[in-house]
Structure 1
């Protein structure tokens, strides 16, 4: 296992090799993979983060890294755990993929469960907003986040190259190091990476508890978010064999983390994940298919919730996912792929605080995507997916899970269509319309118990039907060399939105305390909103080049059965960034404004608006043939109290206060 060597500085090898200029090579370019047909003009709204852009946005968790992207918010459960929210949808409505394949964890079950991934290992992130169930399943009904790390190199590598990074600072005094090494002879390719991150309790502007819940006699912690410290270690080894018309490879990665639960003083989560992956592609084939791509992964995951040194509950999840995509030969102007996907996960929760039974979930799906270049300006796409899911619980004699004595099976169908019309060289119109179905998850069906992390008593419904939605997007895109961006609207109507709805009943929790009961129920729901972004090249002269980045989003969501707003919806947000580059220097100043959020259910609290200021400066330099970047980044420089409406802990866990971080990166 890789757990012991990870405590060594992973940057050391990278720095040593950087002193050998004769080994430097150019990194291979990545290929956009959100569309298996290779067309970057997707009808669905999409965003790609890589290079310096990803470096500037990188945080300790995936949710915080993507929090400023249009339509993407964060579940924020302190610096240890944060999952992305897309257009107000979270949990099992968002698929988080690793190189196109799901890696099992328990992050969708509870907000205090982290995604076992450190963004420092990621070279590229693709975000596809809206119904992406076509290729990735019904639980991508809200969108897909695909991360790429090249742990199985998919193109030849000649010589030795790599990268390294050191960071220090931030509101949690992060100390992180990471390194990557890749080597090959054009036929065989090897990848090694490792990372380590430690962080202290988070500094915050004032009290952790908001004025809405703060007790005058016991106001709680101030200027520090108690029990928010932790660590993350990870590493991987992978390799591939390349030939003229394809590749095949394997990888193994390990993640090991330990962090405090900010909702439960004295409780820590100790997390481990082992992931094995296989990937292969055959290209330039003769016959009905021009290429065939296979991806597969097997994961063993567990985390223990430790209270006062004793293990209270252990969550385990193990299983596999495999998919095959075959691209057929063009049929006139029509190109397309057909594919199949199979997965299994075995989940168990052992201990006094287990609120879900042991459950096995199996799924099998087939899908297709066809693309037709109807005219020189008009591109059309049509896709379909059929998926069978079986959920098999075992209550193990626990009287709370007497309803978990029989399995449930669901057949889900999805259909998607899209069009991109190039109005002229500058303007394009993109539209998509989809019908998606999602099978209920095991916890929506069988939960029955106190969920300590959220302070609720959750009750599932084994008679739940499939979640069904009709969703559409319409966007105007533009690129005239000076301005590049888009303005779009979206709408989703759910016929059976599975929400966690308060019943108004109090149930017995820990220490004879009562907690509110919440039921997983199917309701009619509506989501709609607007997203916009623009990169504006202002001017370029002897003082440098200047650009302005603008973005904003607004989402509204309503429970149509009760007339109330749905919970945890981010408010109107507007971001602006002024960029400057001159020779080896680069700098930017960012301002983010979020409005107050008063549209919420009666049993939730509102959040105040805020405006934050950030700034960064970086300097590029070379040593031999290695490229270096030294940078300083400041965030929330005016030390504003920020509480995310999308976080269930908005009233006890504010976002970070003023912070300054320094870093050094190298590539060779």
Structure 2
């Protein structure tokens, strides 16, 4: 699908809907009160996520939404600090008001609106195992990036790290092209197959983040076989309002300074948002010293222009992200650490990554149904630099379309049909080569239905068909063939079933079963070269078959006031699981552009049958209003069934414990102090052909914070510390840890970062 086709579709479909869209508008108003005092709750937030609208109750607890559609059913959520949130369904065609009576609570309820599933719904009635992480939770975690923060908040989520600059999400033991990251409603495409490739996304842009655990291929295609990370921008404020935020932090371990400013407004339904962020860090420090040339810096600019009207909404998002990351290309015997790594100038080799994105998000209300349409264009440029001239230079252009039509509800059924397609074109513009230039076209169609009865039972089912075509280009260097080229196509069906039952207000059960598939990506099919940043030579296999997953999970969630939590189990059997492995003695010598030779271990892509199963959950105790003990745990057991040995790069079992103290202090608002233990178990289940085991370790963390008044604006100030004892350790997903292939030279092992203390503030702005 060329850009011209996308534009033609835009003109042919969207403009007529705009012309059609002069529908009658209606208002929704009401009052948010305290269930005990019957007084209004000033400052309560009321949200209609399906229309991307939010407003704040006035001093008396009253709120109003204007210019809403005259027809349709929507979820309305009311929440405020210190209360259980409430989610109600409103039929706007009936008019009238919608009031909320919030009950005071020791903790805010975990029941929230989840938008990343096929049908927006509250978490209780949604069978998908989903977690929502708020802005405050992301800020309070002592982390270097978004995935690092999520791994400390959501059970079952981990990270494959390359120093402090790069983290790849791991969900239930699956990563790389098996986990989809969504931003602005569009799948992020940036060569996510690479070990040392992070997310080219501003970590400050998310107002909250949803994590969907388990196969979500039905909605997002074959790359979502493991799960989804959905980054949600702030919703548009109420009409006539301008809001914003300023945040800044500094971390002591690598001198990471993080600064971001955002403004957003709504004038008569014309909505807009702008954000600018900048991060800069020098080498990260381990207990043995600063790891050489591990600093990074990134710049991000983003914005949105759109309309929120009675016919729905249409938003144009645009973003630019530039990331520079240093790497250390050491030879056996070279020192890994320096005593002074505080110079912020990056040496060679390094990465220069630039990501450009345009995304148009639309939701058109047509009668009692609606059409949700997301169009996207992305350009990802990845330069691997040994000098000012790029060695490797990938230039990836991706066009995408995702359309879902929500049919009118009837007799408890909510049916939708959907179509998605993408067109990728990747070019090599450097002097060295790893993956051939390629074209990839994908298209998929699905149907989904959700049935609710007795208000306590929900059943859903869906079926999807996908077709993917790959065309790898043959290429020769100095008369010698580098890539032989490949042409292949893959197609298959995916299906899913889900069920939820709400036993009571404080107890609910959810279960899922399904089958999904993932097509091999061009890197797995056609690699033939040195992968900069990983110090290895990778060889693809054009004869790979698609992966086929058979998965099931079940979760029990409970909330008894002083005690709440969840317990879940899952299993995922994957036929023809793809990964790159190496064997001692399999090496190749390469002569670079300077005429120097270097020997690399060879990693070849192959397939096995794999079985992954595990447990995850949480147990939270709240004996008083000011004392909270939160605990999460997760464990994944992953087996290579073909060779009767473990799979590589599987996270160790972990238990996170946090004791949080929140006394009421007159002079301070929202004061808290916390101390935490992160307990990681020994990971002895490794692929011992090229991995080494890691020992168990415990990290001690702590935090303190409060909110002050800066004029009329609330100012949140916080301090958080991670690894306070400066523990020397290797994490099982640390790519820089010792490997069996280089065991004869233990200096290849790079410890995880040592002590890190972060100082920061967050200033939300209510300008008008």
TM-score by length of 1: 0.89
**In structure 2, how many angstroms separate the alpha carbons of the residues matched to 1:27 and 1:348?**
47
Task: Name which structure has the greater RCO, CA cutoff 8 Å, separation 6+.
Answer: 1
Partner of 1:655: 752
Deviations, residues 418-449 of structure 1 (Å, cap 9, x unaligned): 11122333322211001001111011111112
Shift of the 184–425 alpha-carbon distance from structure 1 to 2, 3 Å rule, reads: closer
**In structure 1, how many angstroms separate the alpha carbons of the residues matched to 2:276 and 2:155?**
31
Shift of the 26–346 alpha-carbon distance from structure 1 to 2, 3 Å rule, reads: farther
Deviation at 1:548, TM superposition (A): 1.0
TM-score by length of 2: 0.78
Partner of 2:23: none
Contact 2:184–2:317 at 8 Å: present in 1 too?
no
Contact 2:236–2:265 at 8 Å: present in 1 too?
no
Partner of 2:72: none
Partner of 1:606: 693
Gaps of 5+ in 1: 1-23, 207-222
One of 267, 279, 302 as aligned partner of 1:236: 302
Shift of the 181–452 alpha-carbon distance from structure 1 to 2, 3 Å rule, reads: closer
1:591 equivalent to 2:672? Answer no
Deviations, residues 386-422 of structure 1 (Å, cap 9, x unaligned): 1111111112335454431x42111121101111122
Contact 1:315–1:347 at 8 Å: present in 2 too?
yes
One of 88, 92, 96 as aligned partner of 2:177: 92
1:128 equivalent to 2:212? Answer yes
Shift of the 518–269 alpha-carbon distance from structure 1 to 2, 3 Å rule, reads: same
One of 149, 170, 187 as aligned partner of 1:102: 187
**In structure 2, how many angstroms separate the alpha carbons of the residues matched to 1:26 and 1:200?**
41
Structure 1 residues 503-512 or 576-585, which shifts more?
Answer: 503-512
Deviations, residues 548-569 of structure 1 (Å, cap 9, x unaligned): 1100101111111111111111
One of 428, 432, 450 as aligned partner of 2:530: 450
Contact 1:156–1:186 at 8 Å: present in 2 too?
no
**In structure 2, how many angstroms separate the alpha carbons of the residues matched to 1:454 and 1:195?**
28
One of 143, 152, 155 as aligned partner of 1:70: 155
Shift of the 475–25 alpha-carbon distance from structure 1 to 2, 3 Å rule, reads: closer
Deviation at 1:101, TM superposition (A): 1.1
Tell me, what secondary structure is at the counterpart of 1:330? coil
Partner of 2:496: 416
Larger radius of gyration: 2
Structure 1 residues 389-398 or 551-560, which shifts more?
Answer: 389-398
Gaps of 5+ in 2: 1-41, 50-112, 331-346, 739-748
Shift of the 115–653 alpha-carbon distance from structure 1 to 2, 3 Å rule, reads: farther
- Give the aligned CA root-mean-square deviation in angstroms: 2.0
**In structure 1, how many angstroms separate the alpha carbons of the residues matched to 2:239 and 2:702?**
37
Partner of 1:664: 761
**In structure 2, how many angstroms separate the alpha carbons of the residues matched to 1:121 and 1:519?**
37
Contact 2:135–2:206 at 8 Å: present in 1 too?
no
Query: What is the aligned residue count?
Result: 618
Deviation at 1:157, TM superposition (A): 4.0
Contact 2:326–2:349 at 8 Å: present in 1 too?
yes
Tell me, what secondary structure is at the counterpart of 1:657? coil
**In structure 2, how many angstroms separate the alpha carbons of the residues matched to 1:157 and 1:79?**
41
Shift of the 535–99 alpha-carbon distance from structure 1 to 2, 3 Å rule, reads: farther
1:525 equivalent to 2:610? Answer yes
Contact 2:157–2:169 at 8 Å: present in 1 too?
yes
Partner of 2:272: 190
One of 469, 488, 491 as aligned partner of 1:390: 469
Shift of the 58–36 alpha-carbon distance from structure 1 to 2, 3 Å rule, reads: farther
1:33 equivalent to 2:118? Answer no
Tell me, what secondary structure is at the counterpart of 2:737? coil
Partner of 2:578: 498
**In structure 1, how many angstroms separate the alpha carbons of the residues matched to 2:562 and 2:43?**
33
Shift of the 158–58 alpha-carbon distance from structure 1 to 2, 3 Å rule, reads: farther
Shift of the 575–199 alpha-carbon distance from structure 1 to 2, 3 Å rule, reads: same
Tell me, what secondary structure is at the counterpart of 1:131? coil
**In structure 2, how many angstroms separate the alpha carbons of the residues matched to 1:114 and 1:427?**
38
Deviations, residues 199-236 of structure 1 (Å, cap 9, x unaligned): 11111112xxxxxxxxxxxxxxxx10111111111111
Deviations, residues 557-584 of structure 1 (Å, cap 9, x unaligned): 1111111111111111000111122331
Aligned positions of 1:205-354 closer than 5 A: 205-206=287-288, 223-262=289-328, 266-283=348-365, 285-286=366-367, 290-354=369-433
Structure 1 residues 631-640 or 304-313, which shifts more?
Answer: 304-313
**In structure 1, how many angstroms separate the alpha carbons of the residues matched to 2:262 and 2:276?**
7
Partner of 1:13: none
**In structure 2, how many angstroms separate the alpha carbons of the residues matched to 1:46 and 1:552?**
16
**In structure 1, how many angstroms separate the alpha carbons of the residues matched to 2:329 and 2:600?**
15
Contact 1:337–1:370 at 8 Å: present in 2 too?
yes
Tell me, what secondary structure is at the counterpart of 1:415? strand
Tell me, what secondary structure is at the counterpart of 1:351? coil
